[in-house]
Structure 1
Amino acid sequence: MSTSTAEHDSYLVENWDTETLIDYLKEQNLKLDDDDLGILRKQKVTGLSFLDLTEEKYEKWGMAGGPATLLAKEAKTLKEKPKRAFSSYKSLSEVLAKYGIDSNGTDTIPLFSLQTHEIQESDKHFEHCMAEILVRLKNYGSLVVDSLEAMRNEYVVAILHTAINITRDSTGEELSMRPEYEVIGDDSTGRVDFAIKKAENLICITEDKPERNLIEGLAQNIKQLESSCQTNLKKRKRNDDDDFDYLYGIVTTARDWHFLLYTPGKISQGSKLPFSIVFSEDALDKESVEYRTLRDGVKKVLGVVVGLLKDRACAEDDSPSKKKARIEEYRSKK
C-alpha cells in the first residue's frame, strides 16, 4: 500500500479530532464511562490539547479523580513514546530480529500447518468471484508486474469478499472487512489495507504490495499483526498474564499470496513458496488452459483464506489455553 505524507501525519496524536481521540482511549481499556467521554466532547478535547491536559484541569471540569489520573498518565505515555508508522518499516531483517530470526528473506521463517477449506466447483460465491475476475480481465487486460495498485486491489478485494462469504455460510460466524483500517499498537501505528474482524476483534490483516516491495510488505504486515494483537488484548477484560491471542496475516501482490501466523513473540509462515494466481486475459476463453489455470489458482487461494478465517473465527470464544494448544499443534506439524 502506498502512503502519502498527509496520511503519515494523520497518525500523529496532534492531528486527532475529538472522536478519534475517544476511539483511541476506548481501546486502551481505561474504564472511562459516558460521563468521562462526555466531558471530553463538551470541552472539545483534541489530540493536540489532550497532550497538555493535567489531572487538575480534568477535575476542574467535573471529572472524578480516578479517570483524571488515568488520562493524564496516558497523555504522558503518548508524549514520551512516539509511535512508528507501519510504512516506515522497510527492512524485514530488522523486524525478524525481534523474533530471533537472522534473515532478510522468508527462507528461515518457521512454518505452520495451513488450515484449508475445500472450495466446491459449484459454490455460488466462487462462481460469482470468477465472474468478477473475468470482467476485470476483459476491461483491464492481463495483470502484470507493474500493474497499478488500483487494479491489483480489485482482484484482492474480490477474493477476500468471497472468502468472507464462504466462511459465513460454512460457520454461521458474522465477519466484516474494513479497508484502510487504522490500528494503534504499543510501538507502531498506521492504516492497514484490509482488516477482517469478528465483532470488534481483529482476526486477519492483509497487506497489498507490488512485487518489487514484497519483502517490505512482509515486514510491515508482521508489525501490523503485532499491533493488532495488542489492540485485541487491550479490549479484553482479563487482567492476568495468561491471556493469549493469535492472528493471521496475508501479504499479496494479487498474483502471489503469502500467509503468516502471529502470536506474541513468534511469527510463522504457511509455506516457503507463495500460492499463485495467473491473471491472464487469455483466460477469457473458458475452453482454454489459461482459464483452467486461473480457476484452479483462485480456488486454491480461496481454500487457504477461508480455512484461516474459519479457524480464527471459530476460536474467538475459546479460552487462552485452548487457543495456545491449537497453535502449538499447527506449528508442531511442521
Structure 2
Amino acid sequence: MLYRHHSNKNRNVAQGRYQREASPKFQWTANRGQITLTALKSRLRTCFTFPDGTEDEHIVINRECGGSEKEIVCLVDDEDLASPFSSWTFPQIKTLFGLTADSYIDLPRFDGELANTTDYEKILGHDLEDIAMKHKTCIHVTSANEATRREFISPILHGVAFCYDGEVKVCPEYELSGSHGKGPVNWVIKIGDTIIVVIEAKREDINQGVGQNAIQLQASSQRNKKKRTYNEALREDVMYGMVSTGVDWVIIKLVTTGEYNDSDNGNVEVLLSSRTPFTFPINESSIKALCLANQVVFNRQIESQESLKRVKTENK
C-alpha cells in the first residue's frame, strides 16, 4: 500500500508529493459484512499519521494497475473537493454566510458613488464607438447568447482600466479556488495583490450570479488572508464584485472580519451598491454613469491596497 499526499499548490502528482511505503506488517482482517470504505479509513487512521485536519472525505482509495498492482491512499484538500462556482445559488450563500436577505435586491446597501474625475472623457468616446459598432454588427444584446453578451461587457472593463496607466490589469478566464468553490471566473481586475471579480450572469439570472460572485469573492479573500500575518489577517477584508447580463450591471461588496480558517468563514457580509442595478441603454449618459461607478470600485480597491501596505510598514 502506498500513501501519498497531494498538495493543492502542486497538482502534478509527479512533483512536490511525498510518499511513504506502508509497513508490510499492515493487515486488516475483516469479513465481507465489515468491508466498507468508512471502516477501512478508520483502520488506516490507527496505523498511519495523517496531517492535522484530515477528514474521511480527504482520504481517497484507488488501485493502480500496471506491472504490479498497488492499493493507493491519496489525500486531497478542501479545495480539491470544492464545487464549481457556477453551482452556487443565492439561497445557498444565504445559509452559508447567515444572510437575512432572500434575494440580492434585499441585500443591505453601501454608498455607491460616482467617481469625481474627468478621466472618463478619454475613454468614453472609445467605449461608445466600440459598443455602437457591436450593437450594429452583433445580435441584439437582449437576445444574444453568453459569448455575445461578453462582447458588450469587456469594453467597459478595459475602458475603465485604461485610466490607470497600467496599474490595473483585466484578466479573462482567471482560475480561482477556495474552500467552497473553484473554477475560472469570466474576468478578474488585478490591482496589486487584490482582485475584483466580474462575471456574466448565466441565463440572465442576476440573483444566481450574485450568489456565484459572492463565493468567488470569498475565495479571493481566503487567498489574501493566507498570505498575511496573523494581525493583518484579523483586519476587515473588503472585496468588490460585479455581475452583468450585458444590459444590467450589479456591484456588490463582500466584507469579511475575524480570523479565517478551514472550518470557519469568519463574519461575512454581502452588500449591494446603492446605485445598482444599472440598466444599460446604448447612450452617452448611461455609459458615463456606469464607467464612473466602476471607477469608484477600482479606486476603493486601490485604497485598500495602500491601507494594507501601511499596516505592513507599521508592523515591521
- TM-score, normalising length from structure 2? 0.69
Instruction: Give SS of 1:187's match.
Output: coil
CA deviation after TM superposition for structure 1 residue 122, in Å: 7.4
Partner of 2:168: 175
Instruction: Give SS of 2:189's match.
Output: strand
CA deviation after TM superposition for structure 1 residue 278, in Å: 1.6
Instruction: Give SS of 2:94's match.
Output: helix
**Matching of residues 47-66 of structure 1 within 5 Å:** 47-48=12-13, 53-54=18-19
CA deviation after TM superposition for structure 1 residue 233, in Å: 1.6
CA deviation after TM superposition for structure 1 residue 235, in Å: 2.1
CA deviation after TM superposition for structure 1 residue 300, in Å: 0.7
CA deviation after TM superposition for structure 1 residue 218, in Å: 0.9
Equivalent of 2:239 in 230, 237, 247: 247
Report the residue type matching 1:276 in the other structure.
T
CA distance in 2, matches of 1:118, 1:239: 36
Report the residue type matching 2:128 in the other structure.
M
Report 1 or 2 for greater relative contact order, CA contacts < 8 Å, sequence distance ≥ 6: 1
**Matching of residues 53-202 of structure 1 within 5 Å:** 53-54=18-19, 73=51, 79=76, 81=78, 82-89=81-88, 91-118=89-116, 120=118, 123-144=121-142, 146-166=143-163, 168=164, 174-199=167-192, 201-202=193-194
CA distance in 2, matches of 1:122, 1:102: 37
Where is the strand percentage greater, Structure 1 or Structure 2?
2
Cα displacement string for residues 234-284 of structure 1 (whole angstroms, at most 9, x for unaligned residues): 222x123523321101000011000101111111010375111124xxxxx
Task: Pick closer, same or farther for the CA change 1:130–1:187 going to 2, 3 Å.
Answer: same
CA deviation after TM superposition for structure 1 residue 138, in Å: 1.8
Task: Pick closer, same or farther for the CA change 1:192–1:105 going to 2, 3 Å.
Answer: same
Task: Pick closer, same or farther for the CA change 1:130–1:80 going to 2, 3 Å.
Answer: closer
CA distance in 2, matches of 1:198, 1:272: 23
Task: Pick closer, same or farther for the CA change 1:50–1:102 going to 2, 3 Å.
Answer: farther
Q: Which has the larger radius of gyration?
A: 2
Instruction: Give SS of 1:254's match.
Output: coil
Contact 1:194 1:206 in 2 (8 A): yes
Pair 1:318-2:316 in alignment: no
Partner of 2:259: none
Partner of 1:29: none
CA distance in 1, matches of 2:86, 2:215: 10
Equivalent of 1:267 in 262, 265, 270: 270
Cα displacement string for residues 51-101 of structure 1 (whole angstroms, at most 9, x for unaligned residues): 9733789xxxxxxxxxxxxxx849956626311210111x31110223332
Q: Gapped runs of 5+ residues in structure 2?
A: 23-49, 59-74, 257-267, 312-316
Task: Pick closer, same or farther for the CA change 1:210–1:94 going to 2, 3 Å.
Answer: closer
CA distance in 1, matches of 2:246, 2:120: 23
Partner of 1:225: 217
**C-alpha RMSD of the superposition:** 3.1
Equivalent of 1:304 in 290, 293, 297: 293
CA deviation after TM superposition for structure 1 residue 197, in Å: 1.0
- How many residue pairs get aligned? The number is 247
